[in-house]
Amino acid sequence: MNRAPRTLLSLCGLAGFLGLWELALRSGLLPGSLVPMPSVIPGVLWAEIADGIWLEVVTASLSHYAVGVLLGSALGIAVGVAAALLPRFNAVHAWLARLLRPIPPLAWIPFAIIWFGINPSAAAFIISIGVFWINYFASHSAVRSVDPGYDEVARAFGHGGFLARLTRVSLPAAAPGILGGLRAGLGQGWMTVVAAELFGIPGIGQRMMEASSLLATDIVVVYMLTIAGLYALFDFLFVILQRRLLRWQP
Amino acid sequence: MSQHETATDIDASLDTRPVLTARGIRLGFGDTTVLDGVDLTVQPREFIAIVGASGVGKSTLLRALSGLLPPRAGDVSIPHGQGPDSRAGSMVFQAPRLFPWRRVRANVELGLEGLALSRGERRRRALEPLTLVGLEDYAERWPHTLSGGQQQRVGIARALAVRPRVLFMDEPFSALDAITRRRLQQELIDLRQRTEAAIVFVTHDIEEAVLLADQVVVLGGQTTDRPAGVVAHHRVTLPALGRRDHPDFADRVQAIEAAIGQH
Confidence bin at B2 (pLDDT 50/70/90): very low
Selected residue with higher pLDDT from B111 and B78: B111
At A30 the pLDDT is 83
In a domain? residue A250: no
Degrees to nearest 5, angle at CA A135 with A129 and A136: 85
At A78 the pLDDT is 97
Q: Residue B3: pLDDT above 70?
A: no
C-alpha distances out from residue B199 to A177, B25, B44, B169, Å: 39, 19, 9, 7
CATH code of the domain containing A137: 1.10.3720.10
At B14 the pLDDT is 54
Whether residue A22 is found in the same domain as residue A50: no
Mean pLDDT, rounded, of chain B: 87
Q: Residue B60: pLDDT above 70?
A: yes
User: How far is Cα B100 from Cα A245, in angstroms, rounded to an integer?
Assistant: 12
Q: Does A243 touch chain B (CB under 8 A)?
A: no
Confidence bin at B10 (pLDDT 50/70/90): very low
Instruction: Give the count of domains, chain A.
Output: 2
Q: Are strands B20-29 and B73-77 parallel, antiparallel or unpaired?
A: antiparallel
Over residues B76-92, the mean pLDDT reads 86
Q: What is the CA radius of gyration of chain B?
A: 19
Whether residue A56 is found in the same domain as residue A23: no
At A50 the pLDDT is 94
Over residues B173-195, the mean pLDDT reads 90
Whether residue A26 is found in the same domain as residue A111: no
Q: Does A248 touch chain B (CB under 8 A)?
A: yes
In a domain? residue A72: yes
Whether residue A57 is found in the same domain as residue A172: yes
Q: Looking at chain B, how many residues does it have?
A: 263
* 8 Å CB contact of A173 and B99: yes
Task: Tell me the backbone φ, ψ of residue B141, rounded to 5 degrees.
Answer: -85, 160
* 8 Å CB contact of B101 and A169: no
Q: Does B87 touch chain A (CB under 8 A)?
A: yes
At B263 the pLDDT is 54
Q: Residue B83: pLDDT above 70?
A: yes
At B15 the pLDDT is 61
Q: Does A150 touch chain B (CB under 8 A)?
A: yes
CB A177 within 8 A of CB A135: no
* 8 Å CB contact of A149 and B95: yes
Over residues B109-129, the mean pLDDT reads 94
Q: Which residues does chain A have with pLDDT short of 70?
A: 1
List of chain A residues whose C-beta atoms are within 8 Å of the C-beta of residue B68: 152, 155-156
List of chain A residues whose C-beta atoms are within 8 Å of the C-beta of residue B110: 153-154, 157, 159, 168
pLDDT per position as a tens digit, A85-95 = 999 999 999 99
In a domain? residue A148: yes
* 8 Å CB contact of A159 and B113: yes
Q: Residue B11: pLDDT above 60?
A: no
Q: Residue B27: pLDDT above 80?
A: yes
* Mutation for testing the B interface, residue in A152, A157, A242, A249 having most B CBs under 10 Å: A157
* 8 Å CB contact of B158 and A157: yes
Whether residue A229 is found in the same domain as residue A116: yes
Whether residue A4 is found in the same domain as residue A81: no
In a domain? residue A142: yes
At B9 the pLDDT is 46
Is pTM beyond 0.90? Reply is no
List of chain B residues whose C-beta atoms are within 8 Å of the C-beta of residue A163: none
CB B198 within 8 A of CB B43: yes
Quote the domain boundaries for residue A8: 1-30
User: How far is Cα B210 from Cα B256, in angstroms, rounded to an integer?
Assistant: 9
Whether residue A5 is found in the same domain as residue A101: no
Question: How many beta-carbon pairs below 8 A join chains A and B?
Answer: 56
How many Cα neighbours within 13 Å face the side chain of B127? 9
In chain B, the percentage of residues whose pLDDT exceeds 70 is 94
In a domain? residue A35: no
CA distance A172 to chain B (A): 7
Over residues B251-258, the mean pLDDT reads 87
Q: Residue B26: pLDDT above 50?
A: yes
* 8 Å CB contact of B114 and A158: yes
Find the DSSP H helices in B162-230.
Answer: 178-191, 206-212
User: How far is Cα B102 from Cα B112, in angstroms, rounded to an integer?
Assistant: 14
* Mutation for testing the A interface, residue in B66, B101, B141 having most A CBs under 10 Å: B101
Closest CA to B38 of B12, B11, B60, B6: B60
User: How far is Cα B68 from Cα B63, in angstroms, rounded to an integer?
Assistant: 5
At A168 the pLDDT is 96
Q: Which long-range contacts (CB under 8 A, 24 or more apart) does B78-81 make?
A: B78/B19, B78/B20, B78/B165, B78/B166, B79/B17, B79/B18, B79/B19, B79/B21, B80/B9, B80/B12, B80/B15, B80/B19, B80/B165, B81/B165
- ipTM of the complex as predicted: 0.86
Q: Does A93 touch chain B (CB under 8 A)?
A: no
Whether residue A140 is found in the same domain as residue A21: no
Confidence bin at B237 (pLDDT 50/70/90): confident
Indicate left, alpha or beta for B241 from its phi (over 0: left) and psi (-120 to 50: alpha).
Answer: beta
List of chain B residues whose C-beta atoms are within 8 Å of the C-beta of residue A173: 99, 101
At A155 the pLDDT is 94
Whether residue A66 is found in the same domain as residue A13: no
| A-chain residue closest to B68, CA distance | A156
List of chain A residues whose C-beta atoms are within 8 Å of the C-beta of residue B91: 156
* 8 Å CB contact of B114 and A159: yes
Degrees to nearest 5, angle at CA B189 with B188 and B191: 60
In a domain? residue A71: yes
Whether residue A200 is found in the same domain as residue A117: yes
Degrees to nearest 5, angle at CA B2 with B1 and B7: 100
Confidence bin at B78 (pLDDT 50/70/90): confident
Q: Does A169 touch chain B (CB under 8 A)?
A: yes
Chain centre to alpha carbon of residue A195: 13
* 8 Å CB contact of B90 and A157: yes
Whether residue A99 is found in the same domain as residue A164: yes
List of chain B residues whose C-beta atoms are within 8 Å of the C-beta of residue A164: 114
Q: Does A242 touch chain B (CB under 8 A)?
A: no
List of chain A residues whose C-beta atoms are within 8 Å of the C-beta of residue B93: 149, 152-153, 156
At A245 the pLDDT is 95
In a domain? residue A162: yes
Whether residue A23 is found in the same domain as residue A107: no
CB B103 within 8 A of CB B128: no
Over residues B15-34, the mean pLDDT reads 86
CB A111 within 8 A of CB A223: no
Confidence bin at B6 (pLDDT 50/70/90): very low
In a domain? residue A122: yes
Closest CA to B139 of B122, B126, B125, B121: B126
> Residue B25 pairs with which residues in a beta bridge?
B38
| B-chain residue closest to A248, CA distance | B101
| B-chain residue closest to A160, CA distance | B68
How many Cα neighbours within 13 Å face the side chain of B71? 26
Task: Point out the residue among A156, A157, A248 whose CB comes nearest to the CB of B142.
Answer: A248
CA distance A170 to chain B (A): 11
User: How far is Cα B14 from Cα B7, in angstroms, rounded to an integer?
Assistant: 10
